């Protein structure tokens, strides 16, 4: 039993008031009679002049106290949990995220959620309405608000999981908007609770109940996979893998690396048990691989509760030969850094020769070394110390001796190199355009900004390379290589190493060559979906399963094919530990093992209180229930009946 309004217990002070009335003397109307002699035995009190009287036990007093106690009890609104309270409108949110396919409960968490939802539907009374919502990376209304149980059951049957995270907030917002203004609105969240705290959410009068599904946390997962090409002359890929152990025992497994489905290497590893700090982790590096392209996959043979996260995939496209136009008046540092990569062909030009260079052909990247020109080729840009038309900033002034305040360690352009102690004598003070993202920030101005507009990517650096010690640092060639790779990367066709780590549920932009009218995307489960092409890139929103996807098309007699991989790579989804509570707006909603409706008891208590009030009235006007005369009458009646 729970109390909805426990503060109303403050009304218990009224009990004291009732008792006070019993010990306080009433101001009575005086009446002269012939003799009080016969009233003696019926008199309440003989102390006529004292303001207080001794508290005497009286049936009326106890009845009044009991009535008041019941009334107060009704005010605190006690409730008990029942399967269905009746007269309600409910929304069933089924968590369809990746962790719900875990098999710690049989047959699986999602099947149990399906069963729990079925129980809720079956328990609906006539006239009750319900809606079914599936919540994963995307929120889907599987059944609109209806009283038709068949529709609701079909919706539950049709629900399926996605290998994605769970956007529970969006589902709750949708459900609460559907239920707003309805009778006794109640949201049931059938989930394992592996979600982040939900903030900025106002439920109003809509009730929320969290039904926890799942019990164990026996899971090993690949929580990170990174494929990187080497820097400089050696551009062979390296694969970084992080395996996490969420169980309470140390686990030993064999990590297998495959290339294009051929086993390349098996590496035994022992992953420590999870602790209070988090899961036990073990990182592995597969270095100096000779494969320049193809599908890389890692997996281990763990017998755990969630199989989806036991493998990860990365597609590495063949290294491109880049044509880079360097617009400079002379910069040895920059030229050397660009020439480090054997796949980069640098064309150096000056402002005066720009038109001629532009006429010679197309370029993958143009590098502006402090020079701006209206005749820049329409391509990706790496810009130093100037603001071009494509730059993601606008100039507002000059910043003197800015220092690095922060930088994005995970961005493909700035990762793998320290930026903390890089010095600058001066830089352009700039203001970000909406599509720009500052990846190295000074105290007052962004120093390096990355952005993409109209299919063109730009990395803008607001400083002259001669005004900084960056060229003297090891970070510089790494930065230049990273920048060139990110500027020329095709999203969706590359592995995480090239900045396009695809997680299940994300929208995948597919760069489709001109002329293709329709492409077909084949999912890991071999199902295909045709998508008409109106413009490139084509947005593909069906990547909700972990695995390798293949997009194909045809231009005339030429086949086009693009392979991309989708991974779970989510610690929150791989952590199968069921949540004990759902945190919504700083309120912990405690997990229930089964869906229960709150049935308020105040109606019954009020009826009991009214019955007591009637009894009190009867006793006051008709006499005591326990008077000897009443008992004698009752016994006589019983005797007459028995004879």
Partner 1 sequence: MLLSPPLLKKLDALSLQAKRAFTGASKGEKRSTKRGSSVEFADFRSYNMGDDIRRIDWNAYGRFEKFYLKMFLEEEDLDITLLIDASLSMQFGAPVSKLLAAQQMAAAIGYVGLTNFDRVGAAVFDSGIRAWFPPTRGRGAAGQLFNFLEKQEPGGNADFTAVMKRVAAQARRSGIAVVISDFLLPEGYETGLKTLAARGFEVTAIQILDRRELEPDIVGDLKLVDVETGVAREVSVSDTLLKTYKRTVDNYCANLRAFCLRYNMNYLLVANDTPIDLTMLRLLRSVGLTK
Q: Which residue has the tokens 């209206």?
A: 374
Specify the 3-state DSSP secondary structure of 181: coil
- For residue 498, the surrounding DSSP H or E stretch is none
Helix boundaries (H) for 340-491: 354-360, 475-488
Q: Which of 557, 622, 639, 641 binds partner 1 (CB under 8 A)?
A: 622
Q: Which is nearer to partner 1, 557 or 621 (CB)?
A: 621
**Least CB distance from residue 76 to partner 1, whole Å?**
32
**Least CB distance from residue 607 to partner 1, whole Å?**
26
**Least CB distance from residue 208 to partner 1, whole Å?**
52
Judged by CB under 8 A, the stretch of 25-33, 305-313, 497-505, 587-595 that binds partner 1 is 25-33
> Do 592 and 212 touch, CB atoms closer than 8 A?
yes
Judged by CB under 8 A, the stretch of 26-34, 132-140, 352-360, 585-593 that binds partner 1 is 26-34
DSSP β-ladder status, 365-369 and 380-384: parallel
* Separation CA 346–CA 384 (nearest Å): 16
Residues 244-263 close enough to bind partner 1 by CB under 8 A: none
Which strands, in side-by-side order, build the sheet including 558-566? 528-532, 518-522, 547-555, 558-566
25 binds partner 1 (CB under 8 A): yes
Judged by CB under 8 A, the stretch of 22-30, 107-115, 303-311, 317-325 that binds partner 1 is 22-30
**Least CB distance from residue 52 to partner 1, whole Å?**
13
Specify the 3-state DSSP secondary structure of 204: coil
For residue 393, how many other CB atoms are within 10 A of its CB? 23
Beta bridge partners of 551: 521, 562
Q: Which is nearer to partner 1, 1 or 26 (CB)?
A: 26
356 binds partner 1 (CB under 8 A): no
The string of DSSP letters for 416-429 reads TS--TT-BBSEEEE
**Least CB distance from residue 602 to partner 1, whole Å?**
31
Q: Which of 623, 632, 634, 636 binds partner 1 (CB under 8 A)?
A: 623
Phi, then psi, of 540 in degrees rounded to 5: -110, 120
Q: Which is nearer to partner 1, 39 or 434 (CB)?
A: 39
**Least CB distance from residue 621 to partner 1, whole Å?**
5
**Least CB distance from residue 27 to partner 1, whole Å?**
8
633 binds partner 1 (CB under 8 A): no
* Separation CA 573–CA 297 (nearest Å): 20
Q: Which is nearer to partner 1, 557 or 622 (CB)?
A: 622
Q: Which residue has the tokens 């063949």?
A: 318
Tokens of 184: 């006794």
> Do 91 and 179 touch, CB atoms closer than 8 A?
yes
Q: Is the peptide bond between 537 and the residue preceding it cis, with omega within 30 degrees of 0?
A: yes
**Least CB distance from residue 71 to partner 1, whole Å?**
23
**Least CB distance from residue 31 to partner 1, whole Å?**
5
Q: Which is nearer to partner 1, 30 or 276 (CB)?
A: 30
Q: Which residue has the tokens 């602790």?
A: 275
Site string for partner 1, 30-69 (x = CB under 8 A): xxxxxxxxxxxxxxxxx-x---------------------
For residue 141, how many other CB atoms are within 10 A of its CB? 16
Q: Which residue has the tokens 């050397």?
A: 336
Specify the 3-state DSSP secondary structure of 290: coil
Judged by CB under 8 A, the stretch of 180-188, 342-350, 566-574, 617-625 that binds partner 1 is 617-625
Torsion angle of the four alpha carbons 292, 295, 298, 302, in this order, in degrees rounded to the nearest 10: -160
**Least CB distance from residue 639 to partner 1, whole Å?**
23
Q: Which is nearer to partner 1, 26 or 535 (CB)?
A: 26
- How many residues contact partner 1, by CB under 8 A? 29
Tokens of 524: 């890991």
Q: Which is nearer to partner 1, 16 or 37 (CB)?
A: 37
Q: Which is nearer to partner 1, 55 or 266 (CB)?
A: 55
**Least CB distance from residue 632 to partner 1, whole Å?**
13
**Least CB distance from residue 28 to partner 1, whole Å?**
4
626 binds partner 1 (CB under 8 A): no
Site string for partner 1, 571-610 (x = CB under 8 A): ----------------------------------------
Judged by CB under 8 A, the stretch of 24-32, 115-123, 298-306, 342-350 that binds partner 1 is 24-32
Q: Is the peptide bond between 107 and the residue preceding it cis, with omega within 30 degrees of 0?
A: yes
> Among 133, 142, 216, 212, which residue's Cα sits nearest to residue 177?
133
**Least CB distance from residue 581 to partner 1, whole Å?**
55
29 binds partner 1 (CB under 8 A): yes
* Separation CA 336–CA 322 (nearest Å): 15
Q: Which is nearer to partner 1, 25 or 599 (CB)?
A: 25
Which strands, in side-by-side order, build the sheet including 581-584? 139-146, 129-135, 89-95, 185-191, 207-212, 587-592, 581-584
Q: Which is nearer to partner 1, 34 or 329 (CB)?
A: 34
624 binds partner 1 (CB under 8 A): yes
- 10: which residues sit within 8 A by CB, 6+ positions away? none
Residues of the shown chain interacting with partner 1 in the complex, contacts defined by CB under 8 A: 25-26, 28-46, 48, 619-624, 627
């Amino acid at each position: 039993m729970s109390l909805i309004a426990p503060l109303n217990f403050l009304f218990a002070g009224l009990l004291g008031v009732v008792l006070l009335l019993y010990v306080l003397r009433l101001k009575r109307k005086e009446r002269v009679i012939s003799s009080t002699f016969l009233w003696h035995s019926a008199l309440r009190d003989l102390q006529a002049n004292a303001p207080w009287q001794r508290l005497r036990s009286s049936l009326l007093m106890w009845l009044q106290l009991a009535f008041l106690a019941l009334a107060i009890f009704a005010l605190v609104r006690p409730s008990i949990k029942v399967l269905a309270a009746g007269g309600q409108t409910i929304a069933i949110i089924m968590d369809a995220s990746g962790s719900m396919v875990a098999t710690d409960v049989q047959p699986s968490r999602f099947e149990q959620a399906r069963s729990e939802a079925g129980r809720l539907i079956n328990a609906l009374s006539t006239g009750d309405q319900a809606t079914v919502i599936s919540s994963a990376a995307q929120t889907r209304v599987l059944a609109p608000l209806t009283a038709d149980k068949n529709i609701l059951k079909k919706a539950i049957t049709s629900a399926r999981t996605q290998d994605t995270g769970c956007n529970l907030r969006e589902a709750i917002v949708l459900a609460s908007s559907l239920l707003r203004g309805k009778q006794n609105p109640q949201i049931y969240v059938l989930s394992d609770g592996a979600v982040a705290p939900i903030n900025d959410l106002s439920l109003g009068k809509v009730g929320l109940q969290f039904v926890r599904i799942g019990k164990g946390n026996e899971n090993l997962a690949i929580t990170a996979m990174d494929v990187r090409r080497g820097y400089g002359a050696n551009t062979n890929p390296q694969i970084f893998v992080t395996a996490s152990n969420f169980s309470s025992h140390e686990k030993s497994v064999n990590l297998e690396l495959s290339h294009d489905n051929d086993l390349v290497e098996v590496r035994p590893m022992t992953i420590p048990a999870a602790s209070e700090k988090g899961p036990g982790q073990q990182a592995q590096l597969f270095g100096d691989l000779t494969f320049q392209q193809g599908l890389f996959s890692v997996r281990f043979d763990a017998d755990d509760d969630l199989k989806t996260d036991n493998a990860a995939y990365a597609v590495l496209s063949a290294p491109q030969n880049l044509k880079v136009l360097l617009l400079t008046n002379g910069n040895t540092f920059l030229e050397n850094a660009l020439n480090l990569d054997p796949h980069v062909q640098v064309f150096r030009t000056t402002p005066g020769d720009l038109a001629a260079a532009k006429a010679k052909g197309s370029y993958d990247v143009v590098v502006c070394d402090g020079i701006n020109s209206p005749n820049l080729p329409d391509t990706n840009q790496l810009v130093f110390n100037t603001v071009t038309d494509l730059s993601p900033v606008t100039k507002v002034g000059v910043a003197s001796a800015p220092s690095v305040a922060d930088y994005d360690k995970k961005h493909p352009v700035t990762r793998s190199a320290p930026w903390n102690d890089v010095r600058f004598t001066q830089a352009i003070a700039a203001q970000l355009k909406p599509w720009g993202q500052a990846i190295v920030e000074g105290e007052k101005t962004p120093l390096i900004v990355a952005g993409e507009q109209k299919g063109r990517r730009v990395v803008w650096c607001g400083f002259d390379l001669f005004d900084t010690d960056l060229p003297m640092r090891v970070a510089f060639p790494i930065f230049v290589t990273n920048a060139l790779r990110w500027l020329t990367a095709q999203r969706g066709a590359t592995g995480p190493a090239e900045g396009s780590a695809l997680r299940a549920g994300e929208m995948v932009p597919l760069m489709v060559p001109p002329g293709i009218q329709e492409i077909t995307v084949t999912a890991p489960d071999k199902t295909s979906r045709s998508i008409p092409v109106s413009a490139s890139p084509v947005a593909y929103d069906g990547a909700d399963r972990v695995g390798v996807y293949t997009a194909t098309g045809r231009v005339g007699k030429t086949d086009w094919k693009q392979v991309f991989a989708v991974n779970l790579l989510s610690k929150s989804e791989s952590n199968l530990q069921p949540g004990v509570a759902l945190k919504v707006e700083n309120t912990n909603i405690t997990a229930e093992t089964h869906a229960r409706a709150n049935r308020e008891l105040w109606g019954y208590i009020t009826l009991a209180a009214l019955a007591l009030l009637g009894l009190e009235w009867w006793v006051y006007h008709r006499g005591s229930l326990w008077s000897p005369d009443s008992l004698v009458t009752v016994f006589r009646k019983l005797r007459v009946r028995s004879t």
